[in-house]
Amino acid sequence: MSNIGIKDIAARANVSTATVSYVLNGTRNVSPKTRERVLAVIEELNYKPNDIAKSLKRRRTDTIGVIAEDVTVFNTPEIIDGINDYGDRHDLHILLTNLRLDKRIGRDFTNLDKYRRYAASAVSELLSKQVDGIIYIGVHTRDLTGLIDTEGKPIVYTYGYTQVDMAIQYNDEQASYEAMSYLIEKGHRKIAIISGLMDSIPSRLRLNGYYKAVTEYELPFDPQYIKMGDWERESGYGLTKELLQLPEPPSAILAMNDVMAVGVLQAAKESGVQIPADLSVIGFDNREFSDYLSPRITTMDIPLHEMGYKAMEALHCLMQGKPYKPAEMPVCRLIERDSVGLLRN
Amino acid sequence: MSNIGIKDIAARANVSTATVSYVLNGTRNVSPKTRERVLAVIEELNYKPNDIAKSLKRRRTDTIGVIAEDVTVFNTPEIIDGINDYGDRHDLHILLTNLRLDKRIGRDFTNLDKYRRYAASAVSELLSKQVDGIIYIGVHTRDLTGLIDTEGKPIVYTYGYTQVDMAIQYNDEQASYEAMSYLIEKGHRKIAIISGLMDSIPSRLRLNGYYKAVTEYELPFDPQYIKMGDWERESGYGLTKELLQLPEPPSAILAMNDVMAVGVLQAAKESGVQIPADLSVIGFDNREFSDYLSPRITTMDIPLHEMGYKAMEALHCLMQGKPYKPAEMPVCRLIERDSVGLLRN
DNA sequence: CTGTTAGCGCCTTCAA
DNA sequence: TTGAAGGCGCTAACAG
């Protein structure tokens, strides 16, 4: 086991520990000869620096804490992947905390007390571990103001935000607007939308994009085309049935997630309407399964990797006291598949 | 910022730093009065211990390194969740390393040089961070012998193994045997199997389970019923077409993953055969989408959470020098849905 | 029951 | 270009 330290190699190379430290970190010029000698001994003894000691001294760990509300929720792994991507390039390590919210308190976000305890202890542990900063990954975008106190350590939120901290979000409004534009390009004018829960920010923003498109393209506006879903398949199913029953049913449906789009497909199938011949569908999230359904569904891909990457980049700036220039919001991208038909009229 | 340390609170409470340490860790009896006083000051100053310093002294970090070959691959998040579950209960923290193999070198596992470099540097960084042990999560089960050297630190593999280290695997043979039994219970006797790549251990083990069932239940054995797939949808599709063309087509197909099962569904649909009326299908993995297909497919759920939990448990034993009693292998569980029909006759 | 103190392994100022 | 030495914040003998 690696009991050898800087002083062992110093002794064996006939230099001071300071010199070893210098060659290790390139902190100061060292004559080529001594450097070689030191390096040789390091190699010979298979020396591995002890980052713990280093961190204690430098008062920096080059480690950031990631608090994931639930790593098993679909957005989280890709975000973490983005965080890693940036981390790898800048020698930043990740201490992962998984709140396991889905399993521990389910979707009942009103149970704030329990939640707050979990979150507080997670932050507290991370702080004790002396992380240089924290990234918080929520399971759905909402206002987390006042729930977390990092005692001055920088924090960046994604899939969530507070009124005071930095947060990385993608552009929801643009996304639904773009989906609408695509549908309109394909000749659709009677377009319905099935939203997620209305207490959700993305739902509201995407609805804005919808309204914007309706207005700009001067589509016939019909309040009946706007259905409030709850993100689950059943609501996609039920609301599609309603839509299909309308005297003037839509020719296209924009579902705010792929799960509800599954319900749309099912309702259409049962009602004998062909997708995309009779009805077009666009989903959201580009979940893996959206490519496995039949028809394969066209969907908006959320830039999760980029969000993780940018969150880390932003945090890194904060950690160094630099300001982070928020640049552009990450943007969703339409994945064209087979669920949208050309409407010739 | 938390500049206050043990000595600040010692001073303010008129005790020695040792006493503070003792009340903090409960390492020694402290008179109630002093304890109260110390606790009060800790509270008052909002003191947070510095685990880095503590680790340096104790030569233990209570942190384990998790090396994931790719966190975005479906098995990984659930395994990590299991690791967290155990970790939460035992105050063990997770330093996560993501090799990002899928994105960096794809599925070309023959590119060992590149892989070895990534793995070696991951281990090396973790070792420098003084983790107390390592859990390795592969993207698919294979022999990793000789690829990783942890210099004596304990390591546990899952979704992968070596000839010398501990590994947590689920029971593949039992899984396919159980799936077969279920099919047989439902009256099927002509059962085909679509395997994954044959250089994969799970493929071979599951095939064993298949053979075992064929033998024990004295099913008519037909080599034509055994098809070699490659885990991808297209192979499920193509091989099903072949199966359907047989003079005596099977009444049920066991696909070694849900992705290939998607191909089975598609082929069946195109060939006008109804599932489950004319053909039954069982998948593997219980991927989320298996519940979204139509019909919803019956599949074998892999105990990922349990594997992560057990891997951590095993590692924890190793870390303490205790032997780990491997007990039972985690077992797969059949998720009954709608893709298997009762064959009367 | 409590205090004193020597490090853990490394970095970095100060001096040479 | 190099060394000596004082901590970083905490734990755990050892001593009282």
Boundaries of every domain in chain A? 6-49, 59-170+303-330, 172-301
| Measured distance CA(A76)–CA(A65) in Å, rounded | 14
Q: Is B124 on the interface with A (CB under 8 A)?
A: yes
Give the count of Cβ contacts less than 8 A between chain A and B: 142
Q: Which nucleotide is nearest to B128 (CA to C1')?
A: C9
Local structure of A70: helix, strand or coil: coil
Nearest Cα to Cα of residue B340 among B296, B290, B291:
B296
Distance from CA of A122 to the nearest CA of B (A): 10
Same fold across B6-49 and B59-170+303-330: no
Question: With an 8 Å Cβ cutoff, are B289 and A294 in contact?
Answer: no
Q: Which DSSP letter does residue A224 get?
A: G
How distant is C1' of C6 from CA of A93, in Å? 32
Q: Which residues of A touch B61 (CB under 8 A)?
A: 52
**pLDDT score at B345:** 63
Nearest Cα to Cα of residue A192 among A262, A285, A254:
A254
The answer to whether B65 and B97 are in contact (CB under 8 A) is yes
How distant is C1' of D12 from CA of B14, in Å? 20
The answer to whether A52 and B128 are in contact (CB under 8 A) is no
pLDDT by 10s per residue, chain B, length 345: 468 999 999 999 999 999 999 999 998 888 999 999 999 999 999 999 999 999 999 999 999 999 999 999 999 999 999 999 999 999 999 999 999 998 888 767 677 788 889 999 999 999 999 999 999 999 999 999 999 999 999 999 999 999 999 999 999 999 999 999 999 999 999 999 999 999 889 999 999 999 999 999 999 889 999 999 999 999 999 999 999 999 999 999 999 999 999 999 999 999 999 999 999 999 999 999 999 999 999 999 999 999 999 999 999 999 999 888 877 899 999 999 999 999 876
Domain covering A172-301 assigned CATH 3.40.50.2300 in the classification: yes
Q: Is A339 on the interface with B (CB under 8 A)?
A: no
How distant is C1' of D10 from CA of A3, in Å? 20
Q: Which nucleotide is nearest to A9 (CA to C1')?
A: C9
**pLDDT score at A28:** 86
Tell if B60 CB is < 7 Å from nucleic strand D: no
**pLDDT score at B219:** 94
**pLDDT score at A115:** 87
Among chain A residues, the shortest Cα distance to B46 is held by A151
Q: Is A63 on the interface with B (CB under 8 A)?
A: yes
How distant is C1' of D14 from CA of B49, in Å? 25
Burial class (CB in 10 A: 0-12, 13-18, 19+), B282: buried
Question: With an 8 Å Cβ cutoff, are B98 and A80 in contact?
Answer: yes
Q: Which residues of B touch A48 (CB under 8 A)?
A: 124, 127-128, 151
Count of beta carbons in the 10 Å neighbourhood of residue A130? 23
CA A48 to chain centroid, in Å, comes to 34
Distance from CA of B323 to the nearest CA of A (A): 20
Tell if A50 CB is < 7 Å from nucleic strand C: yes
Nearest Cα to Cα of residue A171 among A334, A325, A332:
A332
Q: Which residues of B touch A86 (CB under 8 A)?
A: none
> What is the CATH T-level fold of the domain A59-170+303-330, as seen in this structure?
Rossmann fold (3.40.50)
Measured CA angle at A274 (ends A269, A280), to 5 deg: 105
Nearest Cα to Cα of residue A94 among A60, A134, A53:
A134
Local structure of B235: helix, strand or coil: helix
Burial class (CB in 10 A: 0-12, 13-18, 19+), B104: middle
Tell if A2 CB is < 7 Å from nucleic strand C: no
Question: With an 8 Å Cβ cutoff, are A96 and B100 in contact?
Answer: no
Task: Give pLDDT tens digits for B180-210.
Answer: 999 999 999 999 999 999 988 999 999 999 9
Question: With an 8 Å Cβ cutoff, are B55 and A52 in contact?
Answer: yes
Q: Which nucleotide is nearest to A18 (CA to C1')?
A: D3
Q: Which nucleotides of D are covered by protein (CB under 7 A)?
A: 1-13
* A6-49: CATH architecture: Orthogonal Bundle (1.10)
pLDDT by 10s per residue, chain A, length 345: 468 999 999 999 999 999 999 999 998 888 999 999 999 999 999 999 999 999 999 999 999 999 999 999 999 999 999 999 999 999 999 999 999 998 888 766 677 788 888 999 999 999 999 999 999 999 999 999 999 999 999 999 999 999 999 999 999 999 999 999 999 999 999 999 999 999 889 999 999 999 999 999 999 889 999 999 999 999 999 999 999 999 999 999 999 999 999 999 999 999 999 999 999 999 999 999 999 998 999 999 999 999 999 999 999 999 999 888 877 899 999 999 999 999 876
Question: With an 8 Å Cβ cutoff, are A151 and B1 in contact?
Answer: yes
For residue B289, give the nearest of A48, A78, A289 by CB distance: A289
Dihedral of alpha carbons A28, A29, A30, A32, sign = positive
**Residue holding tokens 């749309």?**
A264
**pLDDT score at B106:** 75
The answer to whether B312 and B92 are in contact (CB under 8 A) is yes
Distance from CA of A57 to the nearest CA of B (A): 9
pTM here? 0.95
Question: With an 8 Å Cβ cutoff, are B95 and A94 in contact?
Answer: yes
**pLDDT score at A199:** 86
Q: Hey, what are B177's tokens? A: 């045997």
**pLDDT score at B96:** 98
**pLDDT score at B104:** 86
CA-CA distances (angstroms) from residue A340 to A174, A268, A279? Answer: 19, 14, 8
Q: Hey, what are B121's tokens? A: 């540097």
Interface of B with A in 164-223 (CB under 8 A): none
Q: Is A120 on the interface with B (CB under 8 A)?
A: no
